[in-house]
Amino acid sequence: MKELIKKIKTTQSLSPEAEAYLFSISKKKTYAKGEILIREGQNVNKIFFVTDGCLRSYCIDKNGKEHTLQFAINGWWISDYIANYNNDPATLTIECLKESTVIEFNAEKLNQILIPFPEYEPFKRNTLERHIVSLHKRILNQLIMTAAERYGLFLEQYPDIEQYTRNYHIASYLGITTESLSRIRKEMAME
Amino acid sequence: MKELIKKIKTTQSLSPEAEAYLFSISKKKTYAKGEILIREGQNVNKIFFVTDGCLRSYCIDKNGKEHTLQFAINGWWISDYIANYNNDPATLTIECLKESTVIEFNAEKLNQILIPFPEYEPFKRNTLERHIVSLHKRILNQLIMTAAERYGLFLEQYPDIEQYTRNYHIASYLGITTESLSRIRKEMAME
DNA sequence: CGCCGAGTTGAACTGAATCAAGAAACGTGG
DNA sequence: CCACGTTTCTTGATTCAGTTCAACTCGGCG
C-alpha cells in the first residue's frame, strides 16, 4: 500500500483522510505463481494494483488459443476493463506468473473516492490517460513493426520479464506462435 | 455544441455555469474534405469533439506508409493523445474525410473545467474508460480475428463509413494492404 | 531412471505482401 | 458535356513472413 500512496503523491498531494479511505476499501493480497485472480465468465468488479511480482490478462478464442492482452508488473493496474465497464461477466482471465503482491479494490468503491476526496481525481485521470497512450502505442506498433521488431521492443519495455514468463505468454502478446518466437530468438542470437 | 451538451447530460446533470464555461473554452469549426486538423510534427494541445462528418488519425512509418489509428464520427473525440499526454510534437496526423463539424478544445483548459465544476468528472471518466474499453477490444480483435473477419466487424461498427473513405484508409486501419482488402471484398461478394 | 512439459528445429503450407499492369472512377478544363 | 489526365481499385504472378504439423532435445522432478 505504501507503494501506491507514494505513486499517487508523485502526481498530487493526498490528505491523511483520503489515505485512510483508500486503506479502508482495499485489501492487500499475495498470490502464488499460477493462481487465477479473475476467471473468464465470473462476475467481477475488482481492480488490482501490482506492488510486486508479475501478472497477465488474456482471453481464449474459439479454437482454445490464448491471447495475452497485458502484462502487469510493479506499479501497474490490471483488471478486465471490458467486463468492468459494461458490467458483463469477465471475458479475460488474470493469472499470476510469479509470486505477486497486489492491492485489490472494488472498482466502484474506488471511483466513489472522488465524491469525498476530489483531490484524487488528477491521479485517476493521469492513470487512465497513460493507459490510453500505451494502448495507442501498442496498436500502432502492431500495425507498423515486424514480429522481430516487436519482440525487441518488448524486451526493452519488460527487461526482466522473461524470467517469469513462458514462451507462449510472450508469443501470444506479440501475436505470433511460439515456434515463430523461437526462430526470432535464434535469429537474434546469431547476429 | 448542443450535441456535446446533450451527450454529457446522458451521464449526469450539468449546471448552466458549467455549460457556459464549456462554451467559453471551445470553438465550433467546420472543415472541408481533405483538410488537416493536426499535422505530424506540430505542437498540439487540441482535442476535437465531432458533431458531424468523419475524421481519421494516422501515422506515417519510415517507409512512408500510412497507418490509421482511429476513425471518428458523430459523438466521438479525436486527438493525438500520445503527443498531448507527453507534451511532445504530434506523431499523428488528423485528416478530414468529408465535410465535418467539430468542437475544438484546448486539452488543458478542458481538464481545468474540473476545478470549478467537479460535476463534469463522471463524464470525463466515462469517456476515458469507454475509450480504453474500445482499444482493448481492438487489440484483442487484431490478435484473434483474420483480416476478413476484422473487415466484417469494421463494416458493422461503421456501417456508413465506406462512402467517405478511400480503400487504403480502411486497409491501413485493419493492418492489411489495399490489394488484400480488394480481394477480401471480392471474396465476400461471391458468397 | 523415465516421464513430461517446454523449447527448438525442420519441411510443407498458406495468407498476405509485393510488384506490375490494366480497368474503372473522378475531377478539371476546354 | 465530353475528353483527358490523375487517382483509385482490381487482378494476376510471384515472393515471403509466419503458421502448421511433426519430430526431436533439453531440463526438471517424481
CA distance A182 to chain B (A): 19
The secondary element (H helix, E strand) that includes residue A26 is strand A26-31
Structure confidence at residue A191 (pLDDT): 64
Could you give the CA distance from residue B36 to residue B45 in angstroms, rounded to a whole number?
Answer: 15
> What are the pLDDT digits (tens) for B54-105?
999 999 998 889 999 999 998 999 999 999 999 999 999 999 999 999 999 9
Which chain A residue's Cα is nearest to B81?
A133
Burial class of residue B177 (count of CB atoms within 10 Å of its CB; 0-12, 13-18, 19+): middle
Flag if B144 and A61 touch (Cβ within 8 Å): yes
Nearest Cα of chain A lies from the Cα of B119 at a distance, in angstroms, of: 10
Give the residue extent of every domain in chain B: 26-112
Asked if strand D contacts A147 at the CB level, meaning under 7 A, the answer is yes
Beta bridge partners of B43: B89
Cβ–Cβ gap B140/A111 under 8 Å? no
Please give the grid coordinates belonging to residue B89.
510534437
CB B54 within 8 A of CB B46: no
Between CA A68 and C1' D17 the distance (Å) reads 21
Q: Is B36 on the interface with A (CB under 8 A)?
A: no
pTM for the full predicted model: 0.94
CATH of region A26-112? 2.60.120.10
pLDDT for A32-83, tens place per residue? 999 999 999 999 899 999 999 999 999 999 888 999 999 999 899 999 999 9
**CB contact A86 to B (< 8 Å):** yes
> Does position A5 have pLDDT exceeding 80, yes or no?
no
Covered bases, chain D (protein CB within 7 Å): 8-13, 17-22
H/E stretch holding A119: none
Q: Please tell me what DSSP assigns to residue A158.
A: S
